[in-house]
A and B are shown apart, each in its own frame.
Chain A
């Protein structure tokens, strides 16, 4: 039986705790994200967003609780493990190598190697195959205007963001966590990135978005998970709440008191 994409749970965080020495940064975080959903992770500074993302990315080990990927529980003890589970995090600095070309960046450390067995052993690259694959993928994602053979430093901020996203897709990520993807972008570039996020989600990629731009969140996301002082205080469908209510939740004020 074929199930619709949204039926499948991509990632489920259950009662996650993280202590640094005695300081509790995460004190019971619960949320579920379905496949193909775009979910915003909201919270004030210090709410625990970064710690949560680092736990998902395998950079930090949670003290208690579990993270389930596609229905089974995993201990994500290294970034490598996270990658293997199909999780990719696009940090604000994008982790692109500016001196290298777009196609070199897209395939860094997961290069396509030559078909010949001997050359493959040597690690000989199949540059043509990588170019073709990148071209095809960029066309599919509506970003064919990005030149493949120029250094990333020559691209605009939005294009760099798109390259970082496409790289996640090439790495086989099903779950992409993005940290403030549009914070440093102008309006038009912002829209390009948003378009790409929408497109990816229709293709079954799950996106968790950390953003302070509530306007964008309400426009782009299906749901918002709100953290406050290390706890999940709300998990709401974005259509059902307005920006003011979200703001109130983030700052720990009862929303009904706010809207009354």
Chain B
């Protein structure tokens, strides 16, 4: 019984993905849905969201939540766009990534120091940063003209495939290795699964939690760079509406929102699933309202299944 539900929780995203593609293939056989160009387009559009979602796995692995990632995306994009003309790709991206990491570490530290849930701390950070990026940008979007930046983070391609796809695969592979082959991964998961036991074994769980939140922020900042690169400009709205997509994707991908369990490739496929659904719904003539409703349903259904699997 338990093994059946567990398989369902982990493999849910694979079934859902195949099912969705099959359904849309039938419904949309006359449209451009099944063209290579459309699929590459989905891959491009979802790339920054995948990176955000992969980053969120770090926070979730230690049993914390990071709601500020959407706002960090916007901040990182804006900061990079403002620094690029004067300082170049290297400095702009390093500053943006460090800023993301620092905000994440601050979230983690504050949550531990004040002993309040990360949900609340990062909710506060999210609202604060949302206000800050509006102030910083004056509600204007900042164009990016720096060629190397655009090639590296956005529009470039390699062997006919968009460079964004390589970012996704590369980052996913790296994070997969962290969780499966590195000592850090063991410490993260142990902290999330049973922090008392991890502590008893000498794991510095506070440090591990701060590292996890910092990585979550840093990956959100990277997502911000990819967004800015793809849009060739930075705007305070970047990433703002993606938080629910990210959480839904992680949940349907088989990760646990309660900590101690992550699924990196499941997360990637989860975002792609939502991307395909969005794309298919638009091609079928539905509005973005329908997309939002669908994301809400996916979130509840996916979390429901994960919970059941955990209980049994």
Q: How many residues of A contact B (CB 8 A)?
A: 23
Cβ B183 vs Cβ A111 within 8 A: yes
Cβ B203 vs Cβ A109 within 8 A: yes
Q: Most chain-B CB neighbours within 10 Å: which of A79, A100, A108, A127?
A: A108
Q: Which of A60-68, A118-126, A229-237 contacts B (4 or more CB under 8 A)?
A: A118-126
Cβ B181 vs Cβ A97 within 8 A: no
Cβ A99 vs Cβ B260 within 8 A: yes
Cβ B203 vs Cβ A98 within 8 A: no
Cβ B190 vs Cβ A97 within 8 A: yes
Cβ B201 vs Cβ A95 within 8 A: yes
Contact partner of B184 among A94, A108, A123, A127, CB < 8 A? A123
Contact A95 B202, CB 8 Å, known A100-B189, A108-B186, A125-B181: no
B200 in the interface (beta carbon within 8 A): yes
Contact A97 B193, CB 8 Å, known A111-B186, A125-B182: yes
Contact A108 B201, CB 8 Å, known A99-B260, A125-B183, A125-B186: yes
B288 in the interface (beta carbon within 8 A): no
A80 in the interface (beta carbon within 8 A): yes
Chain A interface SS verdict (over half): loop
Question: What's the nearest-Cβ distance from chain A to residue B105, in Å?
Answer: 19
Contact partner of A97 among B183, B184, B194, CB < 8 A? B194
Q: How many residues of B contact A (CB 8 A)?
A: 19
A113 in the interface (beta carbon within 8 A): yes
Cβ B196 vs Cβ A95 within 8 A: yes
Docked complex Cα distance between A123 and B182 (Å)? 5
Contact partner of B197 among A80, A95, A110, A111, CB < 8 A? A95
Q: Which residues of B contact A127 (CB under 8 A)?
A: 181
Question: What's the nearest-Cβ distance from chain B to residue A93, in Å?
Answer: 8
Q: Which residues of B contact A109 (CB under 8 A)?
A: 186-187, 190, 198, 201-203
B261 in the interface (beta carbon within 8 A): yes
Docked complex Cα distance between A125 and B185 (Å)? 10
Q: Which residues of B contact A122 (CB under 8 A)?
A: 182
Query: A-side interface residues toward B, CB under 8 Å?
Result: 79-80, 83, 91, 93-100, 104, 108-111, 113, 122-125, 127
A selection of 17 A-B contacts at a CB cut-off of 8 Å is A79-B200, A95-B194, A96-B194, A97-B190, A97-B194, A97-B197, A97-B260, A98-B194, A99-B194, A100-B186, A100-B193, A108-B201, A109-B202, A123-B182, A125-B181, A125-B183, A125-B186
